Structure 1
């Protein structure tokens, strides 16, 4: 019987490349996303397309009803769904902040809770949470996103400890910058300026930076392909003793080292300079 993997956010980028990779290695893949129309190419590989909005409890329940009608086992869960709510602190509304955490944190929690009973009963399974180097540091203009990734760090640590005695491994995959539709999606959620637009110049510089920073042809940072992260996810699934944190790419490895050496103000100056936000 083929191993079963469930992947969230599989309509593009890391999630789609992960679905392709698992399918090519003989896994039975349940590929979930809000927009199943964007996953038709995965169906051709044998993936089962399941509509699921991780921010909607009814959608989650319906998705797993469909999944469990077709399988009684879950070997791997890849929590990949996520987005970046950019915007300067004062511009962010409670709605912006809630939705950021609904997608990146609370949705992930609920999806994970849906597979834990089956994994516990089988006393085996692997949960791969796709985090980010953004869980190690914070940049101006993206504090909401970074806060959600910091939260994921802590939740993953707790879950890993709690699942140890049930034979379930929990891995946090932390890529650096990845060339996907991530930035385009983030731009669509960008908040409107507040009265007087006091952050106007900063907004302009930040948006200009985000247009190029994940473009491998223009960025000053080493940019990953989604396929490289997908491989790290797959390798974490097949390793007999997976690392608890898998840093993918040079940026993901270097940023924590730099943050450990530099003072907060020195690190701030470095980040602000990279963003073009220093005066």
Structure 2
């Protein structure tokens, strides 16, 4: 898996951000890259980096099945699956609707699992393969107003742990990418669309989060994360987990070392 030449890579959510940056680097490294996106009007962004666009909506069974069948019919198997599609549903737990909770899990968790299920049989038959799942430092602790998003990343961490052991006997590597906060238009818009209203009891928290987001101190670029993803795809003996950025190393460590009350006090100061 060291070389990308003629290896087939499938990336979900590849029309922008981390997915698009990864597709660009992978094409340059010699991979045959298929980039998934929900809307066909975003295909030009995928084609611009040299990847082959596919219509993949990770909340739609038919689109996922059709995409994998199309690739396997031409190449036999996907060599590297990068489960990148996802978004952050922000807001107080109380205020997020049932439909929003469902869509958050369908996108960030159930779609990731289904894509893995679809590529595993051919990978197992080939006796090699690599599944790279994009998690977050938020899979090890939780910020206020991000409970829905963080809970999906906790789920991804657990799924990755199970898959890694289950697939190891078949020569399939399962890798977790755990970046700190990343500067992407989608991430900022998710926070900035939080509504501040006179009736909301959460205005102080919302305004604090929006202020923190605007500062973007220590945020990672999509390109930096993409470089680590490509490294994980190419490494002959990949690490189970790649933490990216200072915050991805320090905050989970502090969360482990601090008592619950110490962590709560730190969060209270952070959101003051």
> TM exceeds 0.5?
yes
In the superposition, the TM-score normalised over structure 2's length comes to: 0.92
Higher mean alpha-carbon deviation, 56-65 vs 147-156, is at 56-65
In structure 2, what is the equivalent of residue 239 of structure 1? 235
- The answer to whether the aligner puts 1:27 opposite 2:37 as a matched pair is no
Could you tell me how far apart the structure 1 residues matched to 2:13 and 2:193 are? Answer: 17
Following the alignment from structure 1 to structure 2, what is the Cα–Cα distance between the partners of residues 21 and 184?
24
Cα separation, partners in 2 of 1:46 and 1:204, compared to 1, 3 Å = closer
Structure-2 residue corresponding to 1:97: 101
| Cα offsets for 1:64-84 (capped at 9, x unmatched) | 233234321211000001100
Between the aligned partners of 2:265 and 2:186, the Cα distance in structure 1 is 25
Gaps of 5+ in 1: 213-217
Change (3 A) 1:182 1:273: farther
How far is the alpha carbon of 1:115 from its aligned partner?
0.3
1:188 and 1:114, CA in 2 relative to 1: closer, same or farther beyond 3 A? farther
TM-score (norm 1): 0.90
What is the match of residue 198 of structure 1? 201
Specify the SS of the correspondent of 1:90. Answer: coil
Question: Which structure 2 segments of 5+ residues have no match?
Answer: none
Whether 1:251 and 2:247 are equivalent positions in the alignment is yes
Does residue 1:48 correspond to 2:52, yes or no? yes
Q: Quick check: 1:140–1:272 contact (8 Å CA) kept in 2? A: no
Secondary structure of the structure 1 residue equivalent to 2:94 = helix
Cα offset, 1:256, TM superposition: 1.7
- Residue 167 of structure 1: aligned partner: 171
Residue in 2 that maps onto 1:71:
75
Per-residue CA distance 1:65-104 (angstroms, 9 max, x = gap) = 3323432121100000110011101112211111111111
| 2:127 maps to 1:123 | yes
Residues in 2 aligned to 1:162 and 1:171: alpha-carbon distance in whole angstroms: 13
Root mean square deviation of aligned Cα: 2.0
For 2:85 and 2:163, how far apart are their aligned partners in 1?
Answer: 18
Cα drift, residue 262 of structure 1:
1.4
Q: Note the C-alpha offset of 1:181.
A: 1.9
For 2:224, the equivalent position in structure 1 comes to 228
Using a 3 Å threshold, how does the CA distance of structure 1 residues 31 and 266 change in structure 2: closer, same or farther? same
Is the deviation greater in 230-239 or in 29-38?
Answer: 29-38
| 3-state secondary structure, aligned to 1:70 | helix
